[in-house]
Amino acid sequence: MQMKFTCPDCGVQMKFDEETGGLRCPSCSRTEQTEGYEKDFIKYYHVKQLKEFGDEEARLYVCRSCGMKLVTNNRTALKECYFCGGAMTIGERLSGDLMPTGIIPFSISEKKARKAFSKWFLKVKFAPREFKVKKRDFKCHAVYLPAWLFQFRGQGEAMLHATRSKEGVDEEDKEKIIETEHYDLYRRFDLGFDRIPVCASGKIEERFLEALEPYDFSKLKEFDLYSDFGIPAEQYSLMDEKAEKRAKKRVQELMDEYLLSTGENYEEVKPVEREYQIGKAGTEYIWLPVWFVSIEPGDNEYLFVMNGQTGKVAMDPPYNPVKIFIAGGLGVTFAFLLIRIIVLLSGGSLI
Ligand SMILES: [Zn+2]
């Protein structure tokens, strides 16, 4: 940390003081407030080495119509694309490509996923008629979604300006007055950010993963090529360097939030100066369980997704805006609560 703070009394550069965890002027010994100093060093519980598939361990299938890339074990053949229903080209052997270090197993069965979808459809009061499909019309596929998981260490040093006001009475004319006290607060912290996920899928956008979150990462287990590889996974397309940039941005936002939270006892808190150092502590490449359900009502095609661990749903319900308009405010609220526009794949257009 290279931030410079000069002593308000004598103008000499103040130094960090281990004893108090605050700043001390070497000349006049003035100290700055030390509230909020955190010495919360993370215990980096596991920093994984990325692994690769060996020869004959995995195959890559590519969809001829949408370009979707799915990875399977060398015993599984895929004919139809999970996303668009297009034909898949015969899988090439994958070797030297990344193998996940961790995996979250499915807890939601296909039966449960289908049931949840039918139940949900019944609730979609504003769906166009053709959308009310029966169970057997669903195409239900389990697939793993590729994601990066980052661990960061974030160190920060900052000066905040804060105020505190109190009401009083003026001695002379007995009028009410408000006295405001101003504070300069020094903060220094060291934080650990454990599992910052970034979606590595090429077909699914980041916001899709956000809509399916949270995943319970305590259930993350080491990937076993023999017991965990019965279900295909989408091949990663976002590389770790790009994903790291996104994750770092998120960490910076979290550090800002933390910094402001250290001034909770004041009325108004503003950062005057701040400096962060964010260092990556570890990377994992993982697979997250997802159920994809596609429906083909008439000429349109829609895709629905469900978190395979928790059952949380993210989808595009094709609703009818005229019906919503007639139903008024309540209906609109209902629709907004449930609707999250996530993916529009080939042929699918929202009304
Ligand atoms: Zn496809």
- The reply to whether 165 and 277 lie within a common domain is yes
Predicted local distance difference test score (pLDDT) of residue 303? 63
**Confidence check: pLDDT of 349 > 70:** no
- The reply to whether 206 and 319 lie within a common domain is yes
**Confidence check: pLDDT of 296 > 80:** no
- The reply to whether 5 and 137 lie within a common domain is no
Tell me if 349 is assigned to some domain. no
- The reply to whether 165 and 232 lie within a common domain is yes
Exposed/middle/buried for residue 136 (C-beta within 10 Å: 0-12, 13-18, 19+): exposed
Residue among 148, 154, 147, 150 at smallest CA distance from 253: 154
Q: Number of folded domains in the chain?
A: 2
- The reply to whether 21 and 143 lie within a common domain is no
- The reply to whether 9 and 114 lie within a common domain is no
CA of 266 to the centre of ligand 1 (A): 55
CA of 214 to the centre of ligand 1 (A): 27
Tell me if 344 is assigned to some domain. no
Mean pLDDT computed over 164-179: 86
CA of 264 to the centre of ligand 1 (A): 51
Mean pLDDT computed over 44-58: 74
Q: How confident is the model at residue 2 (pLDDT cuts 50, 70, 90)?
A: very low
Using alpha carbons, list the distances in angstroms from residue 98 to 136, 142, 185: 36, 20, 47
Range of the domain at 297: 33-338
Helices (H), the chain: 110-123, 206-212, 240-261, 321-327, 329-338
Exposed/middle/buried for residue 132 (C-beta within 10 Å: 0-12, 13-18, 19+): exposed
Compute the chain's Rg from CA coordinates. 27
Worst-scoring range by mean pLDDT, 169-173, 220-224, 336-340? 336-340
- The reply to whether 14 and 98 lie within a common domain is no
Look up residue 106 and give its DSSP letter.
P
Helix (H) or strand (E) holding 192: strand 176-199
Predicted local distance difference test score (pLDDT) of residue 25? 85
Worst-scoring range by mean pLDDT, 189-198, 288-297, 320-329? 320-329
Mean pLDDT computed over 106-133: 72
CA of 64 to the centre of ligand 1 (A): 7
**Confidence check: pLDDT of 248 > 90:** yes
- pTM of the complete model: 0.71
CA of 55 to the centre of ligand 1 (A): 26
Mean pLDDT computed over 12-33: 77
Mean pLDDT computed over 15-24: 74
Mean pLDDT computed over 199-214: 76
CA of 196 to the centre of ligand 1 (A): 29
Mean pLDDT computed over 131-153: 78
CA of 177 to the centre of ligand 1 (A): 70
**Confidence check: pLDDT of 133 > 70:** no
Q: Indicate if the alpha-carbon torsion angle 280, 285, 289, 291 is positive or negative.
A: positive
CA of 164 to the centre of ligand 1 (A): 60
Residue among 149, 145, 141, 193 at smallest CA distance from 48: 149
